[in-house]
Amino acid sequence: MIRRHNTALRLALLAADAFSAIGLFVVISLIQFGDGWTAAWQSAGFDPFAIALAYAAAWVGALWLHDLYRLRSRWSIRSEFRDVLRADLLIAVASFSALFLFKLPDVSRRFLITLFIAQGIVTLASRISIRLTLGALRDRGYNSRFMLVVGTGPGAQRFADRVERRRELGLRVIGHLGVAAAASAGAEPPKMVGSRPVLGTLDEIEEILHSRVVDEVAICLSTEHAALVEPITRLCEETGRIVRIPLEDLGLTLPGGRVEEFDGGPVLSLVYGPDRALALLGKRLLDVVLGATALIILSPVMATVALAIRAIDGGPTLFHQTRVGLHGRPFQVAKFRTMLPDAEGRLDELQERNEIRGPAFKLTDDPRLTRTGRFLRATSLDELPQIWNVLRGEMSLVGPRPPLPREVQHYDLWHRRRLSMKPGITGLWQTQGRREEDFDRWVELDLAYIDRWSIWLDFKIIVRTIPAMFQGR
């Protein structure tokens, strides 16, 4: 299950296996043949680098055949050792068989035996290290995702326990929701399910989704409450949450769902929003590479802006403000200061001049702007420190505008789906609708971006942003 959560682990394992195979091939060749190892392979009729790549591909293929890149229902060091050993034996038998069939006596058998023994040891050690490292990072909250479990019965407890056992997925169960009917029938509603709290009843689900960070909702109800599944999934769709429905106790299908396997059982997954795990990983890599590059290239510009603010307007140079990120995660955004130090306290007196219809605030001729602030706002240079938020993983280069907490408190239900993707420094709103006066139109642009998202769309928005900055748009 939860294909997107397993992607990082699978890619890390695959990369480690491939690079360890290439590295071991070269190292053992150096040990056995010395500095002339390339000539030794060429005298045997092989290109040394081509055969190293071929060996790495064969080794990854052998591991793939033994399902060592799948999320296992019962992973253990013993099972990993057993299957790595089987893959090692398979590649060894295949290699020696090929030498016999094609009559290749010049290939060193001692080299191959040493390689296969070392490969098994290194692969097992690297795989265990990767799993333990990812588990430790997840435990510290790095890139964690939060799940709300609907249901308090034995099935809900079993599913939540299974999720929490798979630390490498990075899913944390924040609590359960009970069915209000149980309380109305005179039964005392439980306060805890295992070690997890009961946060309320289904009547409070919308409030809980608004007030807590919830990425996924697991619906673990009995068949007698099957009628509640559809309205819950509809609510999750409107707010951009992923839905997981274990099918052992509740056999049903819903349009748009995909059945995945988790811990030996089927789970129906309904993903509302971008669900291309590799593409999302590519988006993150793009953020890191372009963000780091931009930080280096633009550092002289940022230093100049900082000195200008300090010289003309005085300190502080940077302005930090709480914004709301993915599914309600609060974070501190960094910007160059463009307003007077008491700007936040003067907001209420300017509300009647707000140019935006809706919960956001915008005032073109804002009296709180400093002397440098007008220029920085017009050119969007005040946004440059947000590159640091991108590198930290709190924002993306492209995405919806990061809202203020007070704005989110006044969101309608459909507005909240714009929080289902990381906020960005730029986006469709910045390049197409920045002068738009209707907040609903801003949200429509953000939702259009989420629904149409692709890495190619991100590239196009980034390209459009550059002339928009120079033109003051």
Is 234 or 46 the better-scoring residue by pLDDT?
Answer: 234
Closest CA to 177 of 209, 141, 145: 209
Give the 3-state secondary structure of residue 178. strand
In 190-305 the beta strands, taken as DSSP E runs, fall at 192-193, 196-201, 216-219, 242-246, 258-262, 265-270
Q: How far apart are CA 394 and CA 416, in angstroms?
A: 18
Give the 3-state secondary structure of residue 72. coil
Interval 322-333 mean pLDDT: 94
Return the domain boundaries, the chain: 3-139, 145-272, 278-470
Interval 186-210 mean pLDDT: 85
Q: How far apart are CA 203 and CA 190, in angstroms?
A: 16
Q: How far apart are CA 397 and CA 298, in angstroms?
A: 15
pLDDT of residue 186: 55
Average of per-residue pLDDT values in the chain:
85
Is 192 or 291 the better-scoring residue by pLDDT?
Answer: 291
Give the tokens for residue 115.
């390689």
Is 273 or 415 the better-scoring residue by pLDDT?
Answer: 415
Please, how many CA atoms are within 13 Å of residue 160, restricted to the half-sphere of its CB? 30
Buried/exposed code over 177-196 (b: 16+ C-beta within 10 A; e: otherwise): bbbeebeeeeeeeeeebeeb
pLDDT of residue 371: 86
Give the tokens for residue 408.
């989110």
Q: Does residue 440 carry a pLDDT above 80?
A: yes
Q: Which CATH class is domain 145-272?
A: alpha beta
Is 196 or 360 the better-scoring residue by pLDDT?
Answer: 196
Q: How far apart are CA 61 and CA 88, in angstroms?
A: 11
**Using one digit for the tens of pLDDT, what is the confidence trace for 364-395?**
777 888 889 888 888 888 999 999 999 999 99
Q: How far apart are CA 251 and CA 247, in angstroms?
A: 5
Q: Does residue 4 carry a pLDDT above 70?
A: no
Interval 279-288 mean pLDDT: 87
